[in-house]
Amino acid sequence: MTREKSRSRPGFIPGLLASAAAGVLAVCTVAGATPVKVITDKNATPRELYGAEKLRTAVADLATAPRQARIVAALRTAPELRHFNLPAFRPQAEEAFLIKQLGNTWVVAGSDPSGVLYGELELADRIRAAHALPAGIDDMEHPALKLRGACIGMQKQEITYEGAEYDYPYTPQNFPFFYDKTEWIKYLDMLAEARYNTLYLWNGHPFTSMLKLPKYPEAQELPTAQLDENIAMFKWLTAEADKRGIWVLQGFYNIHLSHAFARAHHLPYHLSAPDPVATAYTRYVISEFVREYPHAGLMITLGEALSPYYGAEWLTQAIIPGVKDGLKELGITTEPPIVVRAHATDIDAVMKAALPLYSNIDTMFKWNGESLTWTNVRGPVLDRFKMLAENSNVAIANVHLLSNLEPFRWGDPDFIRQTLANFQRIGIGGLHLYPLRYWDWPYAGDNTEPPLLQTDRDWIWFAAWGRYAWNPNRDPEKEHAYWVAQFADRFGSAEAGEKLLAAYTLAGPCQPRLLPRIGITEGNRQAFTLGMTMPQLIDAARFNPAVTLWTGDAPDGERLNEYVEEEVKHEPHHGETPIAISDETVEASRQALEAAQATAPYVTQDKAEYERIVNDMRAIHQLMLFYNAKTKAAEQVLLYGYDHDTAHLHSAESLLAESVDRFRELTAIAGPAYRTATSMETSQRQIPFRGGMENFPNWQQCLPMYEKELVTFRKRLAQLSSGETIDQSKPVETFPQVAFTLEPGAGETFTVEKGASLFTGSNAAITDLAPGLTGMKGIRIAPREGGTLHFRLAQDAQILVGFVSNASRKSSVLDPETEQWNLVLLNALSAARIAPMAAWTKPLPAGENELDLGKGEYVVLGFIPADLHVVPHINFVRQAAGNATPNLDWLFE
């Protein structure tokens, strides 16, 4: 099916707010110089007028200007420009502009109002840089990426609203920044200056915070006065954004409901399967959003509650009909774009079902997972992006969360430029950019008073992504000079600019390059800045690693266990190796620190921020030294696993001690500088230690764990050296159970034990079972039928579910890692002709619950207390067979 591949302007009514008329002529007089006229079209839109004001400000600062100089800014087809005989833009050009000097006239011509705006902003930049009208300019530009967006989380660091993830009402108490118009203007101006044209707001169920729902009065969650304020604020925000060429999209998760509505209809706040009442409600709120905010857009997450099996059904029977209902009320026949995330859903099935009903769908997929690890992608990640680019209007890459960069400053312009050049090569047409500290917006993590704003601290992060989303194919030498000037403007001299740019560029690739070689995941489970334990380095397979971290989000190379195996076998290595990359990051971070320190004599302004930069470079260098020593210690332990030569362990002891010393120095440097090492405060953080921000918010809490690990290792080494027999077995952890009642519907209860059938209607008997699970009361289903489980819990609990591995899991079964579940036991059980299952937990409230995990192979193993802390571990009885890596955990536990 042929689908429209362009949009004139975003929004449910394209250009609705950009249609206001303005004056025929605007004149700016240059103080003390020849007046410079800035002329706009008599029907200029708010976007064109906004850009014209920026031009007026720029020319007002000129000391001199040519006699009778004027600037004419308008659409290329406007009457004011017809007699200039300007060259045409390419067919279907969007946001394109031409700046050309013709005698004493500087012409800014746009393909559309956004093109005029960007031409005006570009000319204003040139005037400020040269302190003059640019002589002889003849420049035509258009953006490389159609959508260039930033995002803000209308979400908080901790779960606060009735135990529901992602659901946070819009109130001054929850989000004071949302009501600060002064800061919004500053932020939107920054986005416009960097040529961003989209802004995404993330929330679980935002609709009752910005809509009155007369059909469902029982859904109202906020006082009417607060709701009125929110509606006025959102309309103001979208209007101000539109003035700057920015399309605001509201994100939401599925199926999330108004809590008040859910209580009134005896439904859970979140549903894993469609329900007729929830379908009607969702269809209605979507239609009301389209009707009330025709100039805004929708970003849809079809999962993190809804089972992937139902994603296509929900989009086509609830969301798309709601969009169409709203458009019908507005009298609109063209389909505006909607954005569907390829996350926690079967996106192939979703697109196949949705496109015949609604052709204008943009898709979004995470770039490098939830970290930044490479300027490119390959393998399965590349295949996914190519599929999305082929089957959607615009494929958007989501630079998400940045788990491996927190909390330090990061801004390597050339890394970003190369990344966006690869977007272009792959066919990715959009950028969705997270801030460096998403969960704590608008503040940075620095321990300062008042808190630093991310827009100030991380200026280069926003500026570089925006600059290269517009055009990544710029001259490297000119770009170097550009960024030197940007740093110089902030810190007072070209020398400072040169050295600080070098520091940022040298430090930039360190965390991205190292994580894929030794880390567990690019996801939010791992806080890379807080280090890793020896078992995590020795055998990542025991911690449910995200394999695409090194098969898709990094260059070809080896993991530590592969590297050691090839060393032992005297086989050639391939691609990047963990030891070499670690050595290179140590050297690069050392040079970055030296460059930053050498800047001191040249810094003449903002010295406090300069000192914070140096401290970050010092911390990054210590982190690289920590990982270097610990990775080499792990290498020695792995070698011991092959030849049992205790000389390897003695070498490891020295290296491990060095790593603890390095982490102690890191703690002294970074600990006082930051409120917390990372911004997410949930139990999803499991690497290096489970407990998230509650138990391990900072380096200070992790240091004693690493010191303890060293003490234990030294004890084990002494026992080995003395010939003492060491008991390597681990005590069996028996899970206490929470009582539950299975209500009529899908599933049946059973006792979890060897020999029991794993599924209903199947003879797949359990052949191996972690001892701690024996005797649990579970629920089994028929894999081909699935169904919604309805059950009542006697108290708050964690549900314990067995899922097969990622490689074996069917697409219609929920992926627990993408759904904020917590892994507690690898190889928990297995059955004939069934891949080994891992046990995962997720908190659930007391009382009535429903759960639908799709169709496929999974089993509920029981329910355990909500406050029970289970350390992730492995069933070694099953794991011992077929795994070449011996169990060496006993050396450290």
Q: Shortest CA distance to 872 belongs to which of 728, 720, 689?
A: 689
* C-alpha separations of 830 from 169, 196, 426, 755 in Å: 43, 50, 40, 11
Task: Give the start-end residues of each E strand in 6-52.
Answer: 26-28, 36-40
Measured in degrees and rounded to the nearest 5, phi and psi for residue 249 equal -115, 135
Contact 237, 247 (CB under 8 A): no
Q: Which H helix or E strand runs over 383?
A: helix 379-391
Cis peptide before 688 (omega within 30 of 0): yes
Cis peptide before 442 (omega within 30 of 0): yes
Measured in degrees and rounded to the nearest 5, phi and psi for residue 29 equal -100, 125
- DSSP-assigned letter for residue 430: E
Phi-psi bin for 862: left (phi > 0), alpha (psi -120 to 50), beta?
Answer: left
Please write down the long-range contacts of 752-757, taking CB distance under 8 Å and 24 or more positions apart. Answer: 752/776, 752/777, 752/778, 752/829, 752/861, 752/862
pLDDT score, position 165: 83
Q: What is the mean pLDDT of each run of 10 residues along the chain (893 residues)?
A: 36 44 38 78 97 97 91 95 93 96 97 98 96 97 98 90 89 98 98 98 98 98 98 98 98 97 95 96 98 96 92 98 98 96 96 97 98 98 98 97 97 98 98 97 98 98 98 97 98 98 98 98 94 95 90 98 97 98 98 98 98 98 98 98 96 98 98 94 80 80 97 96 77 84 95 95 90 94 91 95 69 68 86 88 90 89 90 53 63 90
Contact 531, 706 (CB under 8 A): yes
Return d(Cα 835, Cα 877) in angstroms, integer: 15
Contact 278, 255 (CB under 8 A): yes
Return d(Cα 594, Cα 591) in angstroms, integer: 5
- Take residue 664 and report the two structure tokens written for it: 């102690």
Taking CA 252 as the corner, what is the angle to CA 395 and CA 16, rounded to the nearest 5 degrees?
70
Return d(Cα 762, Cα 758) in angstroms, integer: 7
Look at residue 148 and give its three-state secondary structure: strand
Contact 119, 134 (CB under 8 A): no
Measured in degrees and rounded to the nearest 5, phi and psi for residue 49 equal -70, -35
Q: What is the CA radius of gyration of the chain?
A: 29
Report how far Cα 795 is from the mean position of its chain's Cα atoms.
Answer: 34
Contact 28, 60 (CB under 8 A): yes
pLDDT score, position 826: 83
The full length of the chain comes to 893
The amino acid present at 658, given as its one-letter code, is E
**Given CA atoms 307, 308, 312, 315 in this order, what sign does their dihedral have?**
positive
Look at residue 886 and give its three-state secondary structure: coil
Pairing of strands 147-153, 430-433: parallel
Pairing of strands 822-831, 766-769: antiparallel
pLDDT score, position 775: 95
Q: Buried b / exposed e across 344-368, counting CB within 10 Å, b at 16+?
A: bbbbebbbebbbeebebbbbbbbbb
Contact 844, 798 (CB under 8 A): yes
Strand partners, 109: 74, 98
Q: For tokens 């205790």, what's the residue?
A: 646
- DSSP-assigned letter for residue 873: E
pLDDT 10s digits, 427-446? 999 999 999 999 999 999 99
Task: Give the start-end residues of each E strand in 82-171.
Answer: 97-102, 105-110, 138-141, 147-153
Q: Shortest CA distance to 720 belongs to which of 880, 876, 888?
A: 888
Return d(Cα 845, Cα 158) in angstroms, integer: 17
* C-alpha separations of 824 from 164, 540, 544, 716, 845 in Å: 22, 14, 10, 26, 19
Pairing of strands 395-399, 361-366: parallel
Look at residue 851 and give its three-state secondary structure: strand
Residues with Cβ within 8 Å of residue 448, at least 6 apart in sequence? none
Residues with Cβ within 8 Å of residue 708, at least 6 apart in sequence? none
Contact 825, 838 (CB under 8 A): yes
* Strand ranges across the sheet with 789-793: 740-742, 789-793, 847-851
Q: Buried b / exposed e across 670-688, counting CB within 10 Å, b at 16+?
A: bbebbbbbbbbbbbbbbbb
Contact 854, 786 (CB under 8 A): yes
Contact 655, 636 (CB under 8 A): yes
Return d(Cα 272, Cα 289) in angstroms, integer: 23
Return d(Cα 507, Cα 513) in angstroms, integer: 11
pLDDT 10s digits, 388-435? 999 999 999 999 999 999 999 999 999 999 999 999 999 999 999 999
pLDDT 10s digits, 28-66? 444 445 689 999 999 999 999 999 999 999 999 899 889
Contact 764, 707 (CB under 8 A): no
Q: Buried b / exposed e across 16-47, counting CB within 10 Å, b at 16+?
A: bbbeeeeeeebebebeebeebbbbbbeebbbb
pLDDT score, position 21: 32
